[in-house]
Amino acid sequence: MNNYPFAGAALQDNGSCKFSVWAPFREDVKLSVIKPWQKEYPMIKDELGYWHVSVPDVLPGLQYKYLLDDDFLLPDPASRYQPEGVHGPSVVVDTRYKWNDKNWKGIPLAEMVIYELHTGTFTQQGNFKGMISRLGHLRSIGINAIELLPVAQFPGTRNWGYDGVYPFAVQYSYGGVEGLKDLVDAAHQHGIAVILDVVYNHLGPEGNYFSQYGPWFTDKFRTPWGTAINFDDAWCDGVRAYFIQNALMWLEEFHIDGLRLDAVHAIWDCGARHFLEELSAAVDHLPKQKILIGEVDYNSPRYITTREKNGYGLHAQWIDEFHHALHSLLTGERNGYYADFGGLEPLAKSFRDSYVFTGQYSSSRKRYFGISPRQHDYHQFVVFAQNHDQVGNRMLGERLSTLITFEAQKLAAAVILLSPHVPLLFMGEEYGEKNPFQYFTDHSDPMLIEAVSKGRKAEFASFAWEGEVPEPQAESTFNNSVLSWDISVVIMELYRFLIDFRRTRAAMKNTARESVQVSTVEELLIVQRGGTVLLLFNFSDKPVIYQHTDHTTLLKKFDSASVSWNGPGETALSEVTAGSSISLQPLSAIVYETA
């Protein structure tokens, strides 16, 4: 499959199974078969610190652990299946699968409309089968890419996925290896690409036995989750190879179209060749084009600059600042990290430059922050009005639909979907879901449960929100977060219309920087795209007049105030010429196109 050292258990064509594990400091490692028989097999160590053994006559379902120096009996760090949870035995799986997507060509990044979802709360079934049942709904709206929150094995059955401790194992309660492949295969047949969220900046606390195997972590750096993963210290080659092998597994074996890399700013690597650069090179050498999207807290285009220009070579990055600017403008919130936002100008800045901070002083960060990314086209940036972080990391997990008016909801939808950036929707957003998305866990360690609960409460101190923090460990917190599927048809049809408009207009598909002009007049945001489309966004709670001074004739294509969208009624002309006045209703969006 690739040239990186293999780790894990792999069935061979001759009926045997090859087992390999990286444990460079151990003096003795044995494979301990638990079922269907009980036997220990001595393993042989190679010069890179990998231990190997081949066992004949192995069938899928064999359970095993590794015995380290006759002292620790532990699951496989590269386990492919953990049906008894993070502390249980690892299980050999059959990776063969009959795919039906041979004609799948993928979706170009610039054309994607991404839909972020969490497997456990997207449907009542809480698994991949439940997702498959809703693919037709998503495709009918125009969604052509789904982004799954992490599916690597985590403790228990309720978790966002960022506490995963077996990056190669598909969460057993979601449907395991076969279930995920069924989902990807079905999505491709619906014309939907699949992006998987992966976590390479930390490993979850419960079931984390990596340190018993070797130098997986380094004290050189700290992350919000503790000591950093060892990407650049002594013995880091085995760690780097492990995560690159993991990425390639998802992209090749599972036919996944791209990876969203969680918090890449917390991947600490001061080596000559950054881990992300090595990863992107490995991915770009695959026979089919795949995409890498980084979540980056730094306003640095280095992450998405090509390797030839001394960048890391990721293909796109999330832009939290676009969200912060829009959210603060619509809700009036100015606490926590929203202190840097408020008013129309930050949103206009993000329309122009993607980042809001391109070198200015940030009051929340207490320093000058960011540089301009204008050498990169808009489609290298993913924007959103909601996502799992921005909803779930509110104290009560409120969705935007419960914080703003119906007219403001429609305005927010238009801003995201008519932006030149790649839009991302959060599950349920397309029909006005009201249920919250809260933080939930299913740990078994009492001390960890208490620490998570206390940490969650301390996290919201700077926001001064009122109310009680939902208990993460309570099953009710998880149940509250499951989608209701109580659909607002008007909202859903509005999303469908806007996505179709985005997809069918040449001006809307042009993501070059020079194709977009942005200006403001008081609380009116004016965006011209490709010389043929005029977007007007009124963020005032009062009517606003816009004077059309250009000599072109414009025809109105969309007005969120229309009674057809359950609005107060249109006041803007259907056709305007030079000198015409365009009257916008409060909190409304209008789209004009040249005649």
Give the annotated binding-site residues.
260-265, 320-324, 388-393
For residue 545, which of 498, 494, 588 has the smallest C-alpha distance? 588
Strands (E), 358-505: 361-362, 367-368, 381-384, 422-426
Q: What is the pLDDT of residue 5?
A: 87
Look at residue 167 and tell me whether its pLDDT is greater than 70: yes
Radius of gyration for the alpha carbons in the chain, expressed in angstroms and rounded: 25
Strands 381-384 and 90-91: unpaired
471 pLDDT band, cuts 50/70/90, is: very high
Q: What local confidence, expressed as pLDDT, does residue 1 receive? A: 47
Strands (E) in 263-324, as ranges, are 291-294, 316-318
Residues 6+ apart with CB under 8 A from 103: none
Q: Given this model, what pLDDT does residue 456 score?
A: 86
Residue-wise over 280-314: b if at least 16 C-beta within 10 A, else e?
bebbeeeeeebbbbbbbeebbbbbbbebeeebbbb
Place 224 in a pLDDT band, splitting at 50, 70 and 90: confident
Length of the chain: 595
Average pLDDT in the 436-457 region?
Answer: 93
Lowest mean pLDDT among 3-7, 193-197, 351-355: 3-7
Q: Answer yes or no: is pLDDT of 314 > 80.
A: yes
Over 90: is that where the pLDDT of 383 sits?
yes
Examine the pLDDT at 201 and tell me if it is beyond 50.
yes
From the list 144, 163, 5, 31, the residue with the least C-alpha distance to 86 is 163
- For residue 466, the model assigns a pLDDT of 77
The SS3 call for residue 364 is: coil
What pLDDT does 568 receive?
98
pLDDT interval class at 441 (50, 70, 90) = very high
Percentage of the residues of the chain whose pLDDT score is greater than 90: 94
Global confidence as pTM: 0.97
Q: Which residues are catalytic?
A: 262, 295
pLDDT of residue 2: 66
Domains and CATH numbers, the chain: 8-91 (2.60.40.10), 113-503 (3.20.20.80), 512-594 (2.60.40.1180)
Question: What are the tens digits of pLDDT across the range 59-81?
Answer: 999 999 999 999 999 999 999 99
Specify the pLDDT at position 462.
66
Task: Name the band, by pLDDT with cuts 50, 70 and 90, for residue 464.
Answer: low
Average pLDDT over residues 404-429: 98
Residues annotated within the binding site for substrate are 260-265, 320-324, 388-393
